[in-house]
């Protein structure tokens, strides 16, 4: 089973399109999948948009009355996937966005890499960032996040799109008494990769070409993002992965 994990907050305009695109992808790329959506206390029409999709698609919804943030939403989705799976060595979860910053058309690339034996697959989408300043910050993220995060071979730590085998995820959660994610905001995207990479035996990277995506830049200034990454890079202490990063062909 593939669990597609989608955290959403006030994404009424795009979340329905994302869900339907996922359905289209798996119609031509048949795999068993289940959508897990976390609505983080949306105040727009997101709940109304999601309601009919629950009837039309294999989908489960986690609804928070008050926002808890991206990191907590992603962790809730991943823990839910773990609870549902009876074959964690086979099953895996994929995180994607509800705003089409990365199109679901990239999903087959991640699935193929997982089926080739990877425990973690990271999607790189650097060329899709419209803002030059933010693109420079994203390229500098591996440096800004040191020494707390050290992931040689992964150039884009902020795409927010990755696939992780549930047995690998369970290994981290079993060993950790604290939350999976400590950081907030875009730093949580990098932290999720680092936490799971530390316990992965095989790590792959797939590059998503620009024509596969419809891009919407994340709100916020490049300077604020750089400062956030710099701060969390000194607060977090995550072991570097022992596995070598492979680039999917």
Strand partners, 95: 5, 162
Rounded-to-integer distance, Cα 165 and Cα 163, Å: 7
What pLDDT was estimated at residue 220? 62
- The model's pLDDT over 184-242, given as tens digits with 9 standing for 90+, comes to 888 999 999 999 999 999 999 999 875 444 444 444 688 999 999 999 999 999 999 98
What pLDDT was estimated at residue 247? 87
Residue 135: pLDDT band with limits 50, 70, 90: confident
Of the candidate ranges 34-38, 47-51, 76-80, 123-127, the one whose mean pLDDT is the lowest: 123-127
- Total domains in the fold of the chain: 1
Rounded-to-integer distance, Cα 127 and Cα 59, Å: 31
- Write the CA distances from 167 to 34, 86, 91, 103, 119, integer angstroms: 17, 10, 8, 26, 8
pTM: 0.91
Cα 38 to the center of its chain, rounded Å: 13
Rounded-to-integer distance, Cα 189 and Cα 129, Å: 16
What pLDDT was estimated at residue 216? 47
Domain ranges, residue 102: 2-247
Q: In angstroms, what is the C-alpha Rg of the chain?
A: 17
What pLDDT was estimated at residue 175? 56
Q: What CATH number has the domain bearing residue 218?
A: 3.90.550.10
What pLDDT was estimated at residue 194? 94
The residues near 30 (Cβ < 8 Å, ≥ 6 apart) are none
What pLDDT was estimated at residue 26? 96
Rounded-to-integer distance, Cα 239 and Cα 197, Å: 9
């Amino acid at each position: 089973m593939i669990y597609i994990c989608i955290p959403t907050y006030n994404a009424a305009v795009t979340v329905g399109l994302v869900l339907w695109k996922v359905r289209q992808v798996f119609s031509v790329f048949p795999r068993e999948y289940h959508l897990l959506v976390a609505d983080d206390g949306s105040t727009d029409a997101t709940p109304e948009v999601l309601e009919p999709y629950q009837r039309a698609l294999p989908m489960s919804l986690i609804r928070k009355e008050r926002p808890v943030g991206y990191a907590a939403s992603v962790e809730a989705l991943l823990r839910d996937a773990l609870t549902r799976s009876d074959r964690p060595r086979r099953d895996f979860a994929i995180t994607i966005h509800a705003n089409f910053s990365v199109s679901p058309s990239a999903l087959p690339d991640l699935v193929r890499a997982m089926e080739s034996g990877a425990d973690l697959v990271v999607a790189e989408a650097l060329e899709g960032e419209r803002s030059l300043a933010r693109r420079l910050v994203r390229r500098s993220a591996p440096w800004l996040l040191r020494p707390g995060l050290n992931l040689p071979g992964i150039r884009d730590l902020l795409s927010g799109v990755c696939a992780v085998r549930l047995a690998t995820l369970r290994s981290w959660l079993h060993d950790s008494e604290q939350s999976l994610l400590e950081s907030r905001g875009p730093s949580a995207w990098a932290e999720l990769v680092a936490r799971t990479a530390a316990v992965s035996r095989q790590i792959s990277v797939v590059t998503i070409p620009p024509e596969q995506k419809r891009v919407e830049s994340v709100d916020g200034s490049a300077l604020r993002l750089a400062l956030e990454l710099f701060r969390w890079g000194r607060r977090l202490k995550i072991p570097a992965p022992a596995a070598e990063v492979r680039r999917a062909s």
